[in-house]
Structure 1
Amino acid sequence: MSQRPAAPPIRIEADYLLETASDPRKVAETMAGEQSSGTFVPVPGETPELKARSAARVERLEVLDDSVAAPSLPTTAAVDPARLRRARVTLSWPIENLGPSLPNLLATVAGNLFELRPITGLRLLDIRLPQPFADAYPGPRFGIGGTRRLAGVEDRPIIGTIVKPSVGFGPEETAALVRTLCEGGIDFIKDDELQADGPHCPFDERARAVMRVVNDHAERTGKKVMVAFNLTGEIDQMRRRHDLVRDLGGTCVMASLNSVGLVGMIALARTSELPIHAHRNGWGYLARHPLLGWSYVAWQKIWRLAGADHMHVNGLDNKFSEDDDSVVASARTCLTPLFPDKPCLAMPVFSSGQTVRQAPGTYAALGSTDLIVTAGGGIVAHPGGPGEGVAALRQAWEAAVAGIPLAHHARTHPALAQALEGAA
């Protein structure tokens, strides 16, 4: 009786943009060795059999035509600028090296290789994870459909804002602003990432004061506004704050990803009974240099699988340094399935200096209304007040989806007309 051949090992893949003055193939092989079985010198025990079982492989390498005048990153190695080249490199690892573990995945695909001496630039572009990761992690528990159901919004963007001033308001002042926004027809309100549990505005007091307003509005109108309470903190603190929001009738919590870390996010998501609004503050130090860090395409996959329901993607014409093409690519990747039988879709969140003017371009580029758009000053600073700001942003999106120019729509929609006069 013949035996079936063994199934090929399941592998993880990662794509990189590499810059080096050394041979790109040799550097890629160094990366593979550094991040699996090898080190900088041969060691006893690293047998051919062990390498065949556990070594990372260079799956693909494409040397690019980019001209490089100077090293993108400092290095102690001697660099001949005439030899600088860039290449796209794909490495792979057998899953048996680490198991379906997100924390250990980060150590594998984004660990010491950023520090290797021959490398003058390295960016993680994408990762592809096998099915065991889908089986090991919950992914978004609510995602797009659950968020829409809880917010009571279908077939259009969820219109939101941020509590401003960022800090300085106490619980009752915050609740008073929330009352105004609820009466103005807002769908979604989030804490600023700087407002968590300060002595001037303690989390518990703020949550109770705000939910009194939200619940009262829901009883009178039938619409419960979704509020993302910023529960960022230590794991036990986040769990307790989540339970308080849940018990008060809240429908969303928020965490700052780079502050709570991957393990904090995983722990929160495993027990959360509410959608998790994932804020990416600090993203710039991971991504702003084009030859260092992460692409958003790779980074957001980790957090979606860990359990993020909403992912910030910046916004068009934003106040930061990111260009519009990058923003749109980030939003699209949040709406791209991770696995055939477990899409793990997260709702992209557009923010950062958003006003009525970005609606047409955002819709044209994304081709979807599955998003949350949050405008701070774009709503709260409307000449007619926050209620008119909400109406103006909703009208702008109505026009964008219908293909009607904003100026034309504004002729019969005064809130939009006023917003256009004031928007930069």
Structure 2
Amino acid sequence: MERITATYFIETPFEPAKAAEVLAGEQSSGTFVAVPGETAELKERFAARVESVEQLETVDTPAIPGATSATGKYHRAIVKVSWSIENFGYNLPVLISTLQGNLYEIKQFTGLKLMDIELPASFGTHYAGPAFGIEGCRKLTGVNDRPLIGTIIKPSIGLSIEQTAGIVKTLADAGIDFIKDDELLSSSANSNFNDRVDAVMKVINAYADKTGKKVMFAFNISGEVDEMLQRYEKIVNAGGTCAMVSINSVGLAGTKKICDQKQLAIHGHRNGWGMLTRHPLLGINFKAYQKLWRLAGVDQLHVNGIQNKFWESDDSVVSSIEACLKPMYNHKTVMPVVSSGQWGGQAFETYRRTKTVDLLYMAGGGIMAHPMGAAAGVTALQQAWKAAVDGMSLEDAAIQYPEFNKSIEKFGNK
């Protein structure tokens, strides 16, 4: 019978192997005391199994509250625990309840983080994965051999529909590939969702008729499931190509329902991610996280960015990009979305460390605040990426490309 294996980074005042057994029992057939009906036959079929325990360092201070150590020592380890697929079948919410449920509350742990998930082969057949992925998003935007260049409507909320449409026209004329709503805006007092779709798509469709290029706009449809489906249909009927979902707010089941419609590329925004991962010994690592959302079917997934404005390290960002680009079954590959304080200057380090152009590269202020205007901001980003791929230094690119040079003057010290 197929099994799913989860890898955890744990900290405990007890023997790590014994703590791992508690985790396995609590998250399958056991509880704090033996109960009638928990037969040997039942445990053989449904009990979780501790596959391995790799002891690491011992520390003097617990990472999070839990049981107090009698010796003042807290032991860290990497443990692998497996479950039979019979426990939950192909049910992502119950899978999450098993791998990430009450185990975070078990007092034997003063730290616990889900680091990776090994999924069985049958998941690749049952779940279709992204409907579009990198290849499909490139086809929808007509962009090949470089990253998609994208931006966010700013201010995040408060603009009128007319103002939003005006910004979209400016960006389309500038040659942008991708624009999205901010996650804070779905339907507000002065920007009704349906009316905003009509106004924005009027601009995008007119530009496509004139140039043959259709800008991808990710409208934020996040909401209740029925409402999201109505908004999804509105975008399709208006000629749109993309919808955005705040995946942590909407959840796996709701997001999968949207992805299963397969008419729009789905931009997976991970706002709230810091709550799930920022503590080094609590939550979930991106390597495991992205596998779940690829099963749900998102086509684009945020990974932060090199030299970003948030807390995440460059090493972590690079690891996240690599995780997204690693093949998963025979599914289409999710497109990493690089964002957070980006401008052309980070293209060089991003390419040096990842050696890929299969990215959606998002810059808000890096485009809109360019001293020569938004069109020059888009051009500067394209120049930066071309220079990076061509092996040029930032300094040489500044000499060759005037728009990029102005970006350095504006953003280089930020």
The answer for the alignment partner of 1:72 in structure 2 is 63
Kindly provide the amino acid, as one letter, of the partner of residue 411 in structure 1: I
Kindly provide the amino acid, as one letter, of the partner of residue 175 in structure 2: G
How far apart are residue 370 of structure 1 and its match?
A: 0.3
1:201 aligns with 2:191: yes
Aligned mates of 1:280, 1:80 — CA distance in 2: 40
Aligned mates of 1:362, 1:409 — CA distance in 2: 15
Kindly provide the amino acid, as one letter, of the partner of residue 61 in structure 1: V
Post-superposition CA distance 1:7-62 (Å, at most 9, x none): xx110000000100101111101100111111111111111111111111000110
The 1:413/1:108 distance shift into structure 2, 3 A limit, reads: same
Aligned mates of 2:58, 2:140 — CA distance in 1: 51
How far apart are residue 266 of structure 1 and its match?
A: 1.2
How far apart are residue 131 of structure 1 and its match?
A: 2.2
Q: Which of 170, 182, 185 is matched with 2:175 structurally?
A: 185
Secondary structure (helix, strand or coil) at the match of 1:313 reads strand
Aligned mates of 1:153, 1:250 — CA distance in 2: 17
Q: Are the counterparts in 2 of residues 69 and 81 from structure 1 also a CA contact under 8 Å?
A: no
The answer for the alignment partner of 1:20 in structure 2 is 12
Aligned mates of 2:68, 2:146 — CA distance in 1: 56
Kindly provide the amino acid, as one letter, of the partner of residue 48 in structure 2: A
Aligned mates of 2:237, 2:292 — CA distance in 1: 29
Kindly provide the amino acid, as one letter, of the partner of residue 21 in structure 2: E
Kindly provide the amino acid, as one letter, of the partner of residue 255 in structure 1: V
Post-superposition CA distance 1:220-240 (Å, at most 9, x none): 111111111111111111111
1:288 aligns with 2:278: yes
Q: Are the counterparts in 2 of residues 124 and 298 from structure 1 also a CA contact under 8 Å?
A: yes
For residues 261-410 of structure 1, the aligned pairs below 5 Å read: 261-339=251-329, 342-410=330-398
Q: Are the counterparts in 2 of residues 71 and 81 from structure 1 also a CA contact under 8 Å?
A: no
How far apart are residue 365 of structure 1 and its match?
A: 1.1
Aligned mates of 2:298, 2:372 — CA distance in 1: 35
Q: Which of 5, 26, 29 is matched with 1:34 structurally?
A: 26
The answer for the alignment partner of 1:258 in structure 2 is 248
| Aligned-residue CA RMSD (Å) | 1.0
Secondary structure (helix, strand or coil) at the match of 2:110 reads strand
The answer for the alignment partner of 1:227 in structure 2 is 217
Q: Are the counterparts in 1 of residues 60 and 73 from structure 2 also a CA contact under 8 Å?
A: no
Q: Are the counterparts in 1 of residues 153 and 180 from structure 2 also a CA contact under 8 Å?
A: yes
TM-score, length basis structure 2? 0.98
How far apart are residue 79 of structure 1 and its match?
A: 2.2
Unpaired runs of 5+ in structure 1? 1-8
Q: Are the counterparts in 2 of residues 172 and 209 from structure 1 also a CA contact under 8 Å?
A: yes
Kindly provide the amino acid, as one letter, of the partner of residue 262 in structure 1: L
Kindly provide the amino acid, as one letter, of the partner of residue 204 in structure 1: N
How far apart are residue 299 of structure 1 and its match?
A: 0.7
Q: Which of 42, 55, 75 is matched with 1:63 structurally?
A: 55
The answer for the alignment partner of 2:42 in structure 1 is 50
Unpaired runs of 5+ in structure 2? none
Post-superposition CA distance 1:336-395 (Å, at most 9, x none): 1222xx234100000000011100110111111000000000000000111110000110
The 1:186/1:245 distance shift into structure 2, 3 A limit, reads: same
Q: Give the % identical residues.
A: 53
Aligned mates of 2:328, 2:117 — CA distance in 1: 10
The answer for the alignment partner of 2:151 in structure 1 is 161
Which range moves more in the overlay, 404-413 or 232-241?
Answer: 404-413
Aligned mates of 2:15, 2:379 — CA distance in 1: 59
Aligned mates of 2:224, 2:352 — CA distance in 1: 40
Post-superposition CA distance 1:186-213 (Å, at most 9, x none): 1111111111111211111111101110
Q: Are the counterparts in 2 of residues 305 and 344 from structure 1 also a CA contact under 8 Å?
A: no
Aligned mates of 1:403, 1:81 — CA distance in 2: 56
How far apart are residue 272 of structure 1 and its match?
A: 3.5
Aligned mates of 2:278, 2:385 — CA distance in 1: 30
Aligned mates of 2:352, 2:295 — CA distance in 1: 28
Secondary structure (helix, strand or coil) at the match of 2:59 reads coil
